[in-house]
Structure 1
Amino acid sequence: MDSLSLDLGLTGVSVVVTGGGGLIGRVVVDHFLAAGAKVSSLDIIHPVDGDFQLDAAQSAFISIHCDVSNEDSVRRAFAVATKAYGPVDICIALASLDLSVLEPSPFADASFSQLNRVLNVNVVGTWLTAREWIRGLREAKLEGRTLRHPNLIIIGSESGHFGERLNAEYSLGKSAVQGGLLMSLRAEVPREYAGARVNVVAPGPVQTDRWYEECGRNPDQYYLEAQATTALAEPIPIRAVAMTILSLASHNFSSHVHGQIVNVDGGKQGKVMWTKEEVAQLEQR
């Protein structure tokens, strides 16, 4: 019997994280760096300074300005990442517009411009990211380059399963990438590079500073979102999301998990449809 190893095997592996400068993205980046990977963080919040900014104190990390909704920007960012660390083995498609930056409204009053903005980032941006990663697989294959952990992880959401009242555009975008896009790439990716994988990680309400700010504005949100329909009765630590991504990215741990949605949501069962106060108002009509 071969000796057992619990090593993720990510030392020196080239990883791209879109949205790597965000509240969740920064933690994901830190976890890959801790595992020994070489990480390119692609984010629109990174400054435009030439092609990239190299962290002199940490040669395993670069930050690259990238607008994932722009085809040329995505192409340039991947080219920089590839030049710095070689073919991109692992791609984490995390960049998206989340609920905190959206204006909630009843569907009849929904903003068409907001719909376009959300879909351009959450759907088009994920599509462009996935395509550029796959093109890198094709190029690596043609050059005879060996990739140890070729896989794409798309970040979905509980909203892609359960919908999002007053923000249908967000759930629409997440359903698209964790539904039709995932199923399409599941069939196609291994044809481009043997053993290449694609999966989705779909978190529930994540314990970011922004989420706690939202709970401060709406005291009922903590209970309604993280307890009322959640078996573990608590929001999701960012570390739990990052560790799931890390283990799923490693072929040593998850070599045959492919085309799956991994829910990191504490056992979420759905959304609360009506609060007691709302039901009381209905009964008074």
Structure 2
Amino acid sequence: MPLSLGLEDTHVLITGGAGLIGSAVVRAFAQEGAHVSSVDIAHDDAPSDDEDDEPAETDYSGPGTLHEYHGDVADEASLARAWRRAVAENGPVGCCVALAGLDLSVLPHHDEEEGRGGVADVSVEQFRRTLDVNVVGTFLTARQWLRGIRDAEGSWEYLENACLVLVGSESGWFGERGHPDYAAAKSAVQGGLLKSLAADAPRVYGKARQECAENPEQLWLDAQATTGLGKPVPVDAVARSILFLASDNFSSHVHGQVLNVDSGKQGKVLWPKEDIVDLRSPSQSQTSEED
């Protein structure tokens, strides 16, 4: 019984590979000897408009190969161009990790000064854009992978570690105050989309990751208050869990499931301590200040 991951020479395509988690996943697969194609809108030095251009190659320590391709998952034509270039370079895609996503929490409506920051302040344009990237983009990625499996010479059984990994979020389970667009999108991905794909794809997994707060202190406070392990999830732990899901040797009979990599998350911290006073009535706030 082989105890290695067995990912050597597998063509792994990862969308969102330039992000914090994406770059960790890209490195992890390359270090395991896979042929990695990273597709990201941030890979501007590898334009996909000219398919004769050589893809950008990134330095890393590992036995595999790593190439970067510019592509927008929400744009059907852009994603298809990047995919064709990756296949021309590395052959049919065996494993696909649909990681690209959009979280617009930095926009002004999330600034809660003067009572702003809830659902009432989210524009319909932003809501649609977030769903375009997170839901439509994931669908287009999954569809592209399924078509590649179907069109590959022979059948999918002859591809190394043929699988599709969708990346969800704890927000899809618990919601997200101030981020209804992101929460709704991730819920769709790890719910109905995953279950529907499981009927068509040979191997489909969903992985719900824990969010990374910008404030490290708040990240630890949230984790201590809501997780069984009492600590946040490092990006390398997320990357290793995806390696496990991608490996035929370890997870060939896991199908259509969600793996929660969240330190045992049980809920969300809705109101940070500094915001509690704003929830009180004027009389309560005045009494508290006088005390």
TM over 0.5: yes
What is the CA–CA distance in structure 2 between the aligned matches of 1:131 and 1:73, rounded to whole Å? Answer: 14
Q: Does 1:92 align with 2:89?
A: no
Residue matched to 1:150: 162
What is the CA–CA distance in structure 2 between the aligned matches of 1:12 and 1:77, rounded to whole Å? Answer: 20
Residue matched to 2:121: 109
1:267 match: secondary structure: coil
Residue matched to 2:209: 203
Q: Aligned residue pairs: how many?
A: 267
Q: Classify 1:281/1:124 alpha carbon distance in 2 versus 1 (closer, same or farther; 3 Å).
A: closer
Partner amino acid, structure 1, of 2:132: N
- Larger mean CA deviation between 88-97 and 56-65 belongs to 56-65
1:24 match: secondary structure: helix
1:228 alignment partner, one of 212, 225, 229: 225
Residue matched to 1:125: 137
Residue matched to 1:83: 88
Q: CA deviation at 1:223?
A: 4.3
Trace 1:257-276 onto structure 2 (pairs within 5 A): 257-274=254-271
TM-score (norm 2): 0.85
Partner amino acid, structure 2, of 1:88: V
Larger Rg belongs to: 2
Q: Which runs of 5+ in 1 are unaligned?
A: 190-195
What is the CA–CA distance in structure 2 between the aligned matches of 1:224 and 1:149, rounded to whole Å? Answer: 38
C-alpha contact (below 8 Å) 1:8/1:247 kept by paired residues: yes
Q: CA deviation at 1:148?
A: 2.4
C-alpha contact (below 8 Å) 1:205/1:225 kept by paired residues: no
Q: Classify 1:148/1:273 alpha carbon distance in 2 versus 1 (closer, same or farther; 3 Å).
A: same
- Larger mean CA deviation between 257-266 and 100-109 belongs to 100-109
CA deviations on 1:155-197 (whole Å, 9 max, x unpaired) are 00000000001110000000000000000011111xxxxxx20
C-alpha contact (below 8 Å) 1:102/1:167 kept by paired residues: no
Residue matched to 1:193: none
Partner amino acid, structure 1, of 2:178: L
What is the CA–CA distance in structure 1 between the aligned matches of 2:81 and 2:145, rounded to whole Å? Answer: 12
Residue matched to 1:192: none
Partner amino acid, structure 1, of 2:18: G
Q: CA deviation at 1:265?
A: 0.4
What is the CA–CA distance in structure 2 between the aligned matches of 1:176 and 1:242, rounded to whole Å? Answer: 22
Q: Classify 1:115/1:56 alpha carbon distance in 2 versus 1 (closer, same or farther; 3 Å).
A: closer
- Larger mean CA deviation between 107-116 and 38-47 belongs to 107-116
C-alpha contact (below 8 Å) 1:140/1:146 kept by paired residues: no
Partner amino acid, structure 1, of 2:261: V
Residue matched to 1:184: 196
What is the CA–CA distance in structure 2 between the aligned matches of 1:255 and 1:102, rounded to whole Å? Answer: 41
- Larger mean CA deviation between 105-114 and 56-65 belongs to 56-65
Percent identity, aligned pairs only, is 50
TM-score (norm 1): 0.87
- Larger mean CA deviation between 268-277 and 107-116 belongs to 268-277
